[in-house]
Amino acid sequence: MTATPDAISASASTGPFWLHVALDVPLDGVFDYQHHEPVLVGQRVIVHFGRRQMIGVVVALPEQPSYPPEQVKSIDQLLDDLPPFPEDWLRMARFASTYYHRPLGEVMMPSLPGPLRKPSAYLGKRSAGGPVLRMAKRKEKKVEPVDSDVLPVLNAEQQAAVDGIVAAKPGSCLLLHGVTGSGKTEVYMRVLEHVLAAGRQVLFMVPEINLTPQFEQVLRARLARVLPGDVLAVLHSGLSEGERLRSWLRVNSGQARILLGTRLSIFTPMPELGLIIVDEEHDTSYKQQDGLRYSARDLAVWRGYDLKVPVVLGSATPSLESWNHARQGRYSLLSLPKRAREVSLPRVRLVDTRHLRLDSGFSPQLLDALEACLDRGEQSLVFINRRGYAPVLHCASCGWLSQCPRCTVYTVLHRQNGFKHNLQCHHCGYQAPVPRACPDCGDQDLQPMGRGTQRIEEFLGERFPNARLVRIDADSTRLKGSAQQLFEQVHAGEVDIMVGTQMVAKGHDFTRLSVVGVLNADATLFAHDFRAPERLFAQLMQVAGRAGRHTEGADVIIQTGYPEQAVYQSLIKHDYIGFAQSALNERESVGLPPFAYQVLLSAEAPQLADAIRLLTQARRLPEDYPNEFPGADQVFLYDPVPLRVLRVAKVERAQLLLESAHRPALQAFVRYWGPQVAQLAKQHKVRITIEVDPLEI
Ligand code: ADP
Ligand code: ZN
Ligand code: ZN
């Protein structure tokens, strides 16, 4: 190390300088390093960790290292291609780390675009000054103003919502409850223009990648009216690393004024953030299901509160958590009770399938409605939340069912390109050809059982040979850009009948759609999960809401064997409030969320017995040492149970649920208990995950 005399006299202290660095490793805490020059909190550094080189973030500058100075390694390189991460970003990462019980580095680093956290992007001959510099040399994308129409005149409720948001108390959360087609988007746009004009940035979150093109178009048209140049950035996991980095840098530098993105965008530093919008806030896609299991919606509420900027949660079917907050006055409620265009909500009909003879899963009522819709030259949608050809292959003579050899689930029959079929496991990705004969009895008559989107599409093709059909599901949209292409065909009126999964159910503003048919809704009705009715209600309300958005007289037909169920009865009345009220009463009476808080400990091992043993010991810890566990008297630990899908990819899984009426007690308990369980798990070679506020239990 050679320090120039100038540098020494210029700085008050002369080093070494001690750093705490957060690294993406599954170990609690932060790591000590030193450097010969002053470093700022929020800067990135390349360090050696064991034999590996990694990029980490400097999160503190302690006076003294945590252990003898001679053992503290020097960093390899200080990265100064970005300004240090802002304070508020570090605060949010710290909050998420504490709240979700996850090491700080495992929160921070995965949230960054790949090139910013890979040492290889900076080291070696080809790094050419690092990814940020290389990106800066790229040309700006030119945007043409997209030709916007005259803006609609807001109705009284929309105006009241806009006024309410603009005048909101700093840091407050507002729940915009608007029926489908009530013009929530227009409300967002007006508020957003206001915030942009005040020189602040906006974070606009949507639940699905598929919804980004639609909103991108709407936003670009609007932005062209308020701000010159390209001020919109889009962020989601479908982008290439380069595209993601570019968006991130433009937002981080303040050059982009709006960030439109899916859940991961909540972690983007935004120096002038002035508003957060979470559209379709009830959507479970806001919950990350692996790694850091965060809720982007909940983090948005926290971030708004922390930054003293308003957060708008919008939905036609708010989550019961948010609805309860609004009911209790913690969120302000803004309501749009009617559709924005002069059209009524679609008529929702239940077709009782118990006494009907179905034709390939279709009731005569639904087939008639589809036919009439075709004759009128309008579009229809057949919704079935099951992709593939059939959920299982079946031998009629011995009862054999196609099963995944690695998981405790059936393999799904899929039609491949052309007419070849194969079997696929939706849990582990296993694929196999269709056996020529039953593996158990040798019978050659194997039959598909049940129906998925492909089989429905096939049937409709035969039934309505002149109809232009399109299937929209995870299989038909695997290629980048293909979903957008299919939706464009629909919007352009080149499609008569859509067959689709939940991908088509949300958010889209279809103009020509006037019939929606729902098949197989009952499948989720009796799921074990206490949130199943809530999810089903939201999903059906959303899919019904795609119909008749621009024209009168739309029809929604739901086929069910249980028409008397509360979910369906509320649905035909479009009665979210009634549904929410009774569901909340029920939850309150049995002490379920949102009237209790939960943490889920899952364990995975090759043998179920090992997973259960670990969980049993974990459960016993506070019983064995009752005085050591803070909050223990207020936390209830259930019995360990195997997961419903017990085995996935040859790993067996079990879980232990923790519950408390007091969030702080539960948090304090897990803070102490979690690391001890982790220790046990290590000894037993069992993999565990701790999930706070689980959505599926
Ligand atoms: P939501 O998001 O609430 O489901 P949208 O924002 O997509 O509904 O609005 C539904 C339709 O109503 C859109 O086509 C939109 O252009 C139109 N719209 C919104 N506000 C108005 C208004 N004040 N007057 C007329 N049409 C409107
Ligand atoms: Zn058989
Ligand atoms: Zn499998």
Query: What is the predicted ipTM?
Result: 0.97
CA of 409 to the centre of ligand 2 (A): 18
Three-state DSSP at 475 gives coil
Q: Where are the beta strands (DSSP E) in 628-681?
A: 636-637, 641-648, 651-660
Ligand 1 pocket: which of 281, 313, 341, 576 to mutate (most atoms <8 Å of CB)? 341
Asked if residue 373 belongs to a known ligand binding site, the reply is no
CA of 429 to the centre of ligand 3 (A): 6
Residues 6+ positions from 541 with CB-CB distance below 8 Å: 180, 316, 317, 571, 574, 576
Distance in angstroms (rounded) separating the CA atoms of residues 541 and 571: 7
State the closest ligand 1 atom to the C-alpha of 511, by its place in the atom list counted from 1. 14
Cα angle 524-525-529, degrees, rounded to a multiple of 5: 70
Give the number of residues written for the chain: 697
Q: What is the largest CA-CA distance in the chain?
A: 93
Distance in angstroms (rounded) separating the CA atoms of residues 388 and 383: 13
Distance in angstroms (rounded) separating the CA atoms of residues 383 and 518: 5
Which residues are near ligand 2, the ion (C-beta closer than 5 Å)? 395, 398, 400, 438, 440-441, 443
Asked if residue 428 belongs to a known ligand binding site, the reply is yes
Task: Quote the pTM value.
Answer: 0.94
Three-state DSSP at 657 gives strand
Distance in angstroms (rounded) separating the CA atoms of residues 693 and 594: 10
Strand (E) or helix (H) holding 584: helix 576-590
| Pocket lining: 341 vs ligand 1, CB cutoff 6 Å | yes
Distance in angstroms (rounded) separating the CA atoms of residues 313 and 320: 13
pLDDT of residue 418: 66
Distance in angstroms (rounded) separating the CA atoms of residues 514 and 343: 12
Distance in angstroms (rounded) separating the CA atoms of residues 192 and 547: 27
Backbone angles phi, psi at 641, to 5 degrees: -135, 150
pLDDT of residue 624: 86
CA of 303 to the centre of ligand 3 (A): 39
By DSSP bridging, strand 651-660 and strand 641-648 are antiparallel
- 92 within 8 A of 306, measured Cβ to Cβ: yes
For the CA of 397, the nearest ligand: 2
- Closest listed residue to residue 635, CA positions, set 679, 689, 674: 674
Write the residue with the smallest CA distance to atom 5 of ligand 1.
183
Backbone angles phi, psi at 203, to 5 degrees: -105, 120
Distance in angstroms (rounded) separating the CA atoms of residues 188 and 46: 41
**How far is Cα of residue 81 from the mean position of the Cα atoms in its chain?**
31
CA of 455 to the centre of ligand 3 (A): 22
Distance in angstroms (rounded) separating the CA atoms of residues 380 and 671: 52
Residues 6+ positions from 518 with CB-CB distance below 8 Å: 383, 384, 540, 543, 544, 556, 557, 558, 559
Distance in angstroms (rounded) separating the CA atoms of residues 486 and 484: 5
Place of tokens 């086929």: 559
Write the residue with the smallest CA distance to atom 26 of ligand 1.
341
Strand (E) or helix (H) holding 688: strand 687-692
Please, what are the averages of pLDDT over each run of 10 residues along the chain (697 residues)?
41 81 94 97 97 97 93 96 96 98 97 95 80 80 66 96 97 96 95 95 95 90 85 94 96 97 98 97 96 97 98 98 97 96 93 95 98 97 96 97 97 86 96 96 96 97 98 92 93 97 89 95 87 95 93 94 95 96 97 98 98 97 87 95 96 98 97 96 96 94
